[in-house]
């Protein structure tokens, strides 16, 4: 076995394996517990900002180009609070705040027009089958360089390119959850196109284009690059401790949307994004012992 490969239960001494696992879980539990206030505030402040842009631009309080830049940031930022909701990190089913979890899931991605149920359904499969060429719905992002990943994402947006999320729903057509997700997705997409066309024919074509349509395209590229390509590249390995990596981005973790520590998310999806960095620092010795892909040097 090469030194670069992860040490699983068969390679590690059984007792050592159990000790590492116990330590890992003990650390992880400290960061999983409390309600992720930061992520909830992130959702609503970002959404409010995006909604506010419309009257601000329409009534010439701010120029369209400024609205475009802010809207693009809003779209790129709107996914992550919903991502927490996909993992039920605000509230589990059957708990009093479950409504809030689902609300955040639905409303956070309005600017991105990403239907919550489709996002949850496909994202759970991504976690279960990370880097599996056939079963990981996010595998399509694979590319040798980040520049090629950007071009590939643009190609994936073209009407003739197969939609991997749509394929997952088709493959699971007998599952009521997939059916429901597909229906909700269709309603949300049609509503989006309906609003866009109505705005365009009502004299607000430029506002519709530069506050929603273009930001959505650019936001999609950014999200795909930083949330899918960068943390999983080169997408060759599977398994709990090797399917995701830590990395250092030259423009910092904020630009990378906190994905430098995405390995923590795959190990402990119940831990909110804003606690990943601290957890990563504390878990590092265990991850090193496991020979995880720590490429943040």
Residue ranges in contact with other proteins by CB under 8 A: 154-155, 158-161, 186, 193, 196-197, 200-201, 203, 205-206, 208-209, 213
| Residue number, 88 or 189, with CB nearest to other proteins | 189
Query: Judged by CB, which is closer to other proteins: 43, or 211?
Result: 211
Distance in angstroms (rounded) separating the CA atoms of residues 152 and 225: 10
The minimum distance between CB 56 and other proteins, in angstroms, equals 19
In whole angstroms, the minimum distance from the beta carbon of 134 to other proteins comes to 23
Alpha-carbon span 121 to 165, nearest angstrom: 9
Cβ 228 to other proteins shortest distance, Å: 21
Complex with other proteins: residue 209 or 289, whichever CB lies closer: 209
Question: Residue 92 or 198: which CB sits closer to other proteins?
Answer: 198
Shortest Å distance, C-beta 213 to other proteins: 7
Asked if 243 contacts 131 with a C-beta cutoff of 8 angstroms, the reply is yes
Q: Please state, in angstroms and rounded to a whole number, the distance separating the CA atoms of residues 263 and 88.
A: 19
DSSP string covering 147-161: HHHHHHHHHHTSTTS
CA-CA distance, 9 to 66, in Å (whole number)?
54
Compute the least distance from the CB of residue 121 to other proteins, in Å.
20
**Cα distances (Å, whole numbers) of residue 73 to 49, 50, 60, 209, 261:** 10, 9, 20, 15, 21
CB-wise, 93 or 159, nearer to other proteins? 159
């Amino acid at each position: 076995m090469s030194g670069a490969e992860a040490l699983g239960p068969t390679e590690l001494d059984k007792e050592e394996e159990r000790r590492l696992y116990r330590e890992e879980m003990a650390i992880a539990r400290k960061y999983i517990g409390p309600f992720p206030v930061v992520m909830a505030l992130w959702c609503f402040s970002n959404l409010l900002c995006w909604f506010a842009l419309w009257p601000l631009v329409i009534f010439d309080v701010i120029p369209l180009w400024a609205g475009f830049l802010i809207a693009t940031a809003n779209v790129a930022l709107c996914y992550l609070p919903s991502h927490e909701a996909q993992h039920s990190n605000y509230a589990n089913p059957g708990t009093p705040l479950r409504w809030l979890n689902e609300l955040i899931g639905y409303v956070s991605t309005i600017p991105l027009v990403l239907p919550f149920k489709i996002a949850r359904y496909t994202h759970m499969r991504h976690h279960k089958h990370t880097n599996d060429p056939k079963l990981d719905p996010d595998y399509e992002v694979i590319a040798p360089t980040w520049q090629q990943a950007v071009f590939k994402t643009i190609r994936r947006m073209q009407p003739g390119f197969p939609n991997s999320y749509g394929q997952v729903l088709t493959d699971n057509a007998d599952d009521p959850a997939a059916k429901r997700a597909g229906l909700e997705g269709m309603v949300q997409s049609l509503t989006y196109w309906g609003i866009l066309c109505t705005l365009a024919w009502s004299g607000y074509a430029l506002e519709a284009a530069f506050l929603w349509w273009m930001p959505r395209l650019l936001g999609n590229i950014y999200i795909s690059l930083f949330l899918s390509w960068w943390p999983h590249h080169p997408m060759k390995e599977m398994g709990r401790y090797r399917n995701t990596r830590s990395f250092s981005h030259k423009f910092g973790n904020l630009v990378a949307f906190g994905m430098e520590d995405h390995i923590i998310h795959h190990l402990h999806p119940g831990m909110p994004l804003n606690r990943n960095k601290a957890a990563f620092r504390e878990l590092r010795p265990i991850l090193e012992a496991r020979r995880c892909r720590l490429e943040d040097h």
